[in-house]
A and B are shown apart, each in its own frame.
Chain A
Amino acid sequence: MSRRIGRLKTNSDHSSEFVIPISYGSTEVIETGKWGFQKPQAFFQTAPCQEACPAGNPIPQFLYLAGEGRYEEALEVILKENPFPGVCGRVCFHPCEKDCNRVQYDEAVSVNAMERNVFDVTFNHPPNMPPLSDADSKRVAVVGSGPAGLSAAYFLGRFGYRVTLFEARKELGGVMRWGIPEYRLSKSILRKEIKRILQLSIDVKTGVRVGKEISFEELDRFDAVFLSPGAGLSLSLGIEGEDLKKVWRGGDFLDRINSGDKLRIGKEVMVIGGGNTAMDVARSALRLGSRVTVAYRRTRAEMPAIQDEIHEAEQEGVRFEFLLQPVKISLLKNKKISVKFQRMRIRGRDQSNRPKAIPIQGAYVTREVDGLIKAVGEGVDLSWIPGTLCKNSLIHVNSSLTTPHPKFFAGGDAVDQPRTIVTAIGAGKRAAIAIDLYLRGHNHDDVFSKIRVGNKGVLSMESYLSGRSGGNWSEPKEVVSYPQLNTLYFEHSQRVEMSKLGKQKALKDFSEVNLGFNSKEARISALRCFSCGTCNYCYNCYFFCPEGAISLDAFHQTKYVDLDHCKGCGTCAKSCPRNVVEMKDVG
């Protein structure tokens, strides 16, 4: 301590008050922040589940809010990126869960069930999603009200454009309305979601088919057009007898059931095909009282249907026969249908690198059934679209979903993209952004790379909106990988499985099979989320800062570091389980 002669310097008068020294000042006047050469910074990243979700659902964010019981906010957060949480929560094939970092720790987070849960809980009081911008006089047409079309209409409506939605049929919804059975997606849920979208003052024209009620050229009146007619043509097998009247096309079959028709298809039913349509067809046939067998030309492992669907079909009693390819269908005198199958085996791979099935020469088997339904894929009806916009039996688009004609955009099953509802929803968003950029005269390419979520082609509407007015977007976030997490702070816990109707009850009618989570299950499931790359207010940094220099407000989602006192020890960065804090050198 330096020796001073002369008057003592104190910053407090109180020493003269008492006969002993008592300190009343606070050490906060000492700026211990000068000790360190590193300071913490929030480093938000994308979680792998967000990257895997084609619609770009903000998964850690909505799970956090659901876990806090803030369900309306959770739903709002989803609705900013995806207008169909209710539908996705029922029918999505949840690629998010496959990429979930928690898989490497114990089991994936139940994202799909939680998306459903958020919708279910807010069913009676959903939030309002008004337009974000002032009404714009530009007019955009959307053709087809399936998931891609409705999604595009929603986002365009949010931008403030005047949207006209053309739908050939009498009701909106596309494949969601006509292609998916009630036991998987209840139509009341679909109606609720569509109603929410239509609150954006979208001009709906049902019963209007382009190429019939209006011509393609009339679409030119609009400032931009989004084509999403879907894939509604059942593909043929290319074999004798397939056009017999008694042979159902899968799409028609489901359409009739979803129209409320009571169908009779016979006791023994066979379904040809291995995709989701085939599974829906098979399980619907079960509910009509038939015994159902699915015949597929390759093995179970190659079936393109969602694993959950195959599993549920098996549980419900659908039988499977593999490595059978139909070669001839004929009608027998006793009104039964005879199907002759070629036995197949797996050898090598085809052009798309899938295991190839080749016939076993001379090996045939014949089955006799009362009903036969073929569900081997769907094609697109391009008859009403100018050929210049088509290629390879699909509408031709580039990576920003623009057709060769700059005003015309397309997406959904009608273009070359995976055929899932959530991919279509993502396409609607992508197209809406592309249209917005087009209508405002911006170049597309670098924007898409800035607003991407990870590297699998997913976009974030929130990112887009953040730079939309200024025309300036910041760099996108990186994806958090498992080794970057600090799993010491996580407890092992098992996934909660959703309860379902028992088999007997399920097959009685078309009631929804999955029953969702109760509040306890939901809370456990939400809290299992590691929240990779996003702060979920676990308060580790707050608790573990020796200086008490970090303050958090979970409700308003703010974080603050007292740089005057942060010594740069790095504890906050190290103890953040989700890699959200980084130590950066400061000058």
Chain B
Amino acid sequence: MPCINEGMSMKDFMTGNHAVANAVKLCRTPFVAAYPITPQTAIYERLSEWEASGLLKGIMMRTESEHSAMAACIAASLTGVRTFTATSSQGLALMHEMLHFAAGCRAPVVMANVNRLLAAPWGFWADQLDSLSQRDTGWIQFYCENGQEALDAVIQAYRIAEQVYLPVMISLEAFFVSHFMEVVDLPEQEQVDRFLPPMDLPHKFDIEKPGFLVPVVSSELYRKYKHMAQGSMDSVKKVAAKVDQEFKKEFGRGYGIVEPIMIEDAEVVLVTAGSITSTARMVIRDLREKGRKIGLLKIRLFRPFPVEAVRDVLKGKTKIAVIDRNISLGSGGIFCQELRAALIHSPDHPLTYSYIAGVGGTDVTPEVIQKIALEVMNRSEPFDKPIWVMEE
């Protein structure tokens, strides 16, 4: 693996999965509980290797299911140690009960989810529905464009989680990001140590003062704790932005919670998340060169949905096309739903179109994106239903 040293950090050539694994090691996460599922296995195996050789100091629990893995992570987290797990698709779905539980326990678990389509029928290809269908579980969610961003997101995730006491899920698409090899900047251990203070959980088990964690409560009390959690979740918009800024200061890279690209005088704004963003960047550049006023908005933080940031960036924009690599049957693309809800009171009343592209891992080529952009330019009437892009 060719390595180029540039100043403090070290560059290496690796897949998105390995980038995530490296981030976990750099964060000194001592507790990992996981269960293998394609295409997450490389994360699990690399961490296993390091745990066996002692490079990753700690304990790895090789559980018998993802559900148990999450249970163990929550428990370990509440004991006061930093935890990590990774999964995908079916595994994430199996964890569903535990995802609610983790958020309810306010356990700062960090999980990497490799976005893979959900059966039935079967397949292993990229699709964002698995993590998006968990959007009500109370987890903070980030969508990563590439391996570098996934690595950085893990580090930022711990910082955010351990501040607001909510679990964080960072998503990277199957194969397009997870297995894609790219040059990755590996931060130095000292930098990460500086950036991440040791974990402290006020509500962890205290053997000297025995308490009963997570008891049965009255309706009013449940509501109160949920209200408190909502407040914490809300604060993540500011917290995440701040953490990202501090990250940029320390590591030289920043992403924002949303990223506007060539958006200033755009007549049409495409909205993307994940790897499609990389392709879209190219397309926007091309179209601009051809004189088309097309802009791009990347959504990085999905939960909490960055309503204020999105409204801010899209002020004055009247035509928006969201490209969703997912479909919520009976409704539409989920990013689009969330965006429409965010823009409902916008004085610009933008036309928001929902494009479905890439479901089931189908290729979202530059041509597809260009096609979407040009089509939207020609639209002038509102259209509620999702528009499927299927190449014949």
Q: Which residues of A are interface residues toward B (Cβ below 8 A)?
A: 1, 3-4, 8, 10, 14-15, 17-24
In the complex, the answer to whether B220 meets A20 with C-beta atoms within 8 Å is no
Give, as a whole number of angstroms, the nearest-CB distance from B200 to chain A.
13
For B197-223 the 0/1 string (1 means CB < 8 A from A) is 000001100000101111101111100
In the complex, the answer to whether A20 meets B106 with C-beta atoms within 8 Å is yes
In the complex, the answer to whether A20 meets B224 with C-beta atoms within 8 Å is no
Decide yes or no whether B94 CB sits under 8 A from chain A: no
In the complex, the answer to whether A19 meets B165 with C-beta atoms within 8 Å is yes
In the complex, the answer to whether A19 meets B106 with C-beta atoms within 8 Å is yes
- B215: chain A residues within 8 A (beta carbon): 21-23
Decide yes or no whether B313 CB sits under 8 A from chain A: no
Decide yes or no whether B262 CB sits under 8 A from chain A: no
Which chain B residues (344-385) contact chain A, with CB distance < 8 Å? none
11 CB < 8 A contacts A-B: A3-B219, A8-B224, A15-B221, A18-B203, A19-B228, A20-B213, A22-B211, A22-B212, A24-B209, A24-B211, A24-B212
CA distance A3 to B165 in the complex (A): 29
- B217: chain A residues within 8 A (beta carbon): 21
CA distance A4 to B219 in the complex (A): 9
In the complex, the answer to whether A22 meets B213 with C-beta atoms within 8 Å is yes
In the complex, the answer to whether B219 meets A1 with C-beta atoms within 8 Å is yes
In the complex, the answer to whether B219 meets A21 with C-beta atoms within 8 Å is no
* Contact for A23 among B165, B203, B211, B229, CB less than 8 A: B211
- B213: chain A residues within 8 A (beta carbon): 20, 22
In the complex, the answer to whether A19 meets B232 with C-beta atoms within 8 Å is yes
| Known A3-B219, A8-B220, A8-B224; contact A20-B212, beta-carbon cutoff 8 A | no
Give, as a whole number of angstroms, the nearest-CB distance from A22 to chain B.
4
| Known A4-B220, A8-B221, A8-B224; contact A18-B214, beta-carbon cutoff 8 A | no
Q: Which residues of B are interface residues toward A (Cβ below 8 A)?
A: 104-106, 165, 202-203, 209, 211-215, 217-221, 224-225, 228-229, 232
Give, as a whole number of angstroms, the nearest-CB distance from A399 to chain B.
65
- A20: chain B residues within 8 A (beta carbon): 104-106, 203, 213-214, 225
**Quick one: closest B residue to A5, CB to CB?**
B220
- B212: chain A residues within 8 A (beta carbon): 22-24
* Contact for B221 among A3, A14, A18, A21, CB less than 8 A: A21
CA distance A18 to B212 in the complex (A): 13
CA distance A20 to B201 in the complex (A): 11
Give, as a whole number of angstroms, the nearest-CB distance from A87 to chain B.
59
CA distance A20 to B215 in the complex (A): 9
CA distance A250 to B9 in the complex (A): 117
Give, as a whole number of angstroms, the nearest-CB distance from A70 to chain B.
37
In the complex, the answer to whether A22 meets B203 with C-beta atoms within 8 Å is yes
Give, as a whole number of angstroms, the nearest-CB distance from B228 to chain A.
6
CA distance A17 to B221 in the complex (A): 14
**Quick one: closest A residue to B211, CB to CB?**
A22
- B229: chain A residues within 8 A (beta carbon): 19
**Quick one: closest B residue to A22, CB to CB?**
B211
- A4: chain B residues within 8 A (beta carbon): 220
CA distance A20 to B167 in the complex (A): 14
Give, as a whole number of angstroms, the nearest-CB distance from A219 to chain B.
76
Counting chain A CB atoms within 10 Å of each CB, the highest count among B104, B165, B220 belongs to B220
Give, as a whole number of angstroms, the nearest-CB distance from A555 to chain B.
29
In the complex, the answer to whether A17 meets B202 with C-beta atoms within 8 Å is yes
Give, as a whole number of angstroms, the nearest-CB distance from A560 to chain B.
25
Q: Which 5 pairs from chain A and chain B are nearest by CB?
A: A23-B212, A22-B211, A18-B203, A19-B106, A23-B215
- A3: chain B residues within 8 A (beta carbon): 219-220
**Quick one: closest B residue to A10, CB to CB?**
B221
- A17: chain B residues within 8 A (beta carbon): 202
Give, as a whole number of angstroms, the nearest-CB distance from A472 to chain B.
50
CA distance A3 to B220 in the complex (A): 8
14 more A-B contacts (CB under 8 A) besides A20-B106, A21-B217, A22-B214? A1-B218, A1-B219, A3-B220, A8-B224, A15-B224, A19-B106, A19-B165, A20-B213, A21-B214, A21-B221, A22-B203, A22-B211, A22-B212, A24-B209
Give, as a whole number of angstroms, the nearest-CB distance from A477 to chain B.
45
**Quick one: closest B residue to A14, CB to CB?**
B211
- A1: chain B residues within 8 A (beta carbon): 218-219
CA distance A23 to B218 in the complex (A): 13
In the complex, the answer to whether B225 meets A21 with C-beta atoms within 8 Å is yes
Give, as a whole number of angstroms, the nearest-CB distance from A456 to chain B.
57
Give, as a whole number of angstroms, the nearest-CB distance from A28 to chain B.
14
- B211: chain A residues within 8 A (beta carbon): 14, 22-24
CA distance A24 to B211 in the complex (A): 5
- A23: chain B residues within 8 A (beta carbon): 211-212, 215
Give, as a whole number of angstroms, the nearest-CB distance from A41 to chain B.
34
CA distance A3 to B202 in the complex (A): 31
- B214: chain A residues within 8 A (beta carbon): 20-22
- A24: chain B residues within 8 A (beta carbon): 209, 211-212
In the complex, the answer to whether B203 meets A19 with C-beta atoms within 8 Å is yes
Give, as a whole number of angstroms, the nearest-CB distance from B124 to chain A.
37
- B220: chain A residues within 8 A (beta carbon): 3-4, 8
Give, as a whole number of angstroms, the nearest-CB distance from B38 to chain A.
35
Give, as a whole number of angstroms, the nearest-CB distance from B161 to chain A.
13
CA distance A3 to B223 in the complex (A): 12
In the complex, the answer to whether A18 meets B202 with C-beta atoms within 8 Å is yes
- A14: chain B residues within 8 A (beta carbon): 211
Give, as a whole number of angstroms, the nearest-CB distance from A301 to chain B.
71
Give, as a whole number of angstroms, the nearest-CB distance from A6 to chain B.
9
- A19: chain B residues within 8 A (beta carbon): 106, 165, 202-203, 225, 228-229, 232
CA distance A8 to B224 in the complex (A): 10
Give, as a whole number of angstroms, the nearest-CB distance from B26 to chain A.
27
CA distance A297 to B215 in the complex (A): 86
